[in-house]
Amino acid sequence: MLNCAIVGATGYTGAELVKILLRHPHVRISGLTTRQKEKIPIEQWIPVLPREIDLEARPYSFSEIRRSSDVVFLCLPHTEAMGTASKFLEAGKIVIDLSADFRLRDWKEYEKWYGVKHSGRQILKESVYGLPELYREKIRKGSLIANPGCYPTGAILGIAPLLGRGYIETDSIVIDSKSGVTGAGKKLNPATQFCEIDENFYAYKVGRHQHTPEIEQVLSDAAGAEIRVTFVPHLLPLERGILTTAYLRRKKNVKRDAAAEAFRSAYAEEPFVRLKPEGIFPALKDVQRTNYCDIGFWADPDSDRIIVITAIDNLIKGAAGQAVQNLNVRAGFAEDEGLKIW
């Protein structure tokens, strides 16, 4: 049994992680923490769980988690995770960080987009980007796994196979994403209150969303060249799920059916990427509460356009599910252990 702790367990991703780890046959939950001064019984923040599950979030204590745990999941807000990660890494733990703090390789980029000093610069080079479909071999050896952002997960999985094979133009990638409100976390925020979001739909952080450099970093890896994208996120009046549409242009010498072949060969063996037949597109209900990323595409026979649509659950494939997938890769468990959820 692997002893796993969750720091910042009482938020949205923490709750999903608890539920997934409770199903995992090779994991014991060895600690759940909160910033609050009093213990919080599990039924107060995950009331759906059966009463016999006897867990509680305890006030955070580094020494307690260090003593009890082999793996530490950090479900803290970005900027809060970097200091905590450094200490657990130094103590020899495997750290899987769900925040953005270790996703960008260049601390200057981090400081530019997140507006704070990066206090973990010295360990940034140890971090591995936790998208198993692209970086599985690195994850197997990583001790600091930077779990991807929710928007980047859907966008990258939809575009990387085409870029990797040089099938699309690199100067005109447009990514349009729509997310449910849990993507913003549990903290109070006027923009995500019921009366603001109910019956509403709007774009936000246009041209300046902090997931832009993360998408560009990974797509640049896939292309072997520097990639810039236009990324526009939107908020949907829904609890969960992200639907992403990527507008791409096929290169002149590339045949129309090359797109299908690129997706098939990239994802044929992937346990959590499901490809739709060409011209059939995923919906959020197909993936909510699962670790799947569903992908549909259309290569227009009358033009150079390729449209790719992906759907994920932001809290599962976009966060807690992917974190457990990373744990499974790192620990050598079957990749779908704990993740047979639908």
Out of 11, 142, 213, 241, the residue judged to bind ligand NAP by CB under 6 A:
11
With respect to ligand NAP, which residue has the nearer C-beta, 158 or 318? 318
Q: Which residue is nearest to ligand NAP (CB)?
A: 11
Q: What does the per-residue mask of binding to ligand NAP show for 162-201, with x meaning CB under 6 A?
A: --------------------xx-xxx--------------
Select from 140, 33, 143 the least CA-distant residue to 93: 143
Contact assessment for residue 25 and residue 1, using Cβ atoms and an 8 Å cutoff: no
With respect to ligand NAP, which residue has the nearer C-beta, 111 or 169? 111
**Is 150 tagged catalytic?**
yes
CA distance linking residue 7 with residue 29, whole number of Å: 11
Say which of 4, 75, 150, 293 is annotated catalytic: 150
Q: 297 Cβ partners below 8 Å, 6+ apart? A: 158, 259, 260, 263, 276, 278, 306, 307, 308, 309
Please report, in angstroms and rounded to a whole number, the separation of the first and last CA atoms in the chain. 25
CA distance linking residue 92 with residue 70, whole number of Å: 8
Radius of gyration from C-alpha coordinates of the chain: 20
Segments of 187-264 assigned E as strands: 202-203, 229-235, 242-249
Return the range that interacts with ligand NAP (CB under 6 A); candidates 69-77, 201-209, 300-308, 328-336: 69-77
Q: Which of residues 303-332 bind ligand NAP (CB under 6 A)?
A: 314-315, 318-319
With respect to ligand NAP, which residue has the nearer C-beta, 241 or 306? 241
Out of 14, 152, 296, 338, the residue judged to bind ligand NAP by CB under 6 A:
14
Q: Which of residues 257-286 bind ligand NAP (CB under 6 A)?
A: none
Contact assessment for residue 320 and residue 98, using Cβ atoms and an 8 Å cutoff: yes
Residues that bind ligand NAP (CB under 6 A): 8, 10-14, 34-36, 75-78, 80, 98-100, 149-150, 182-183, 185-187, 314-315, 318-319
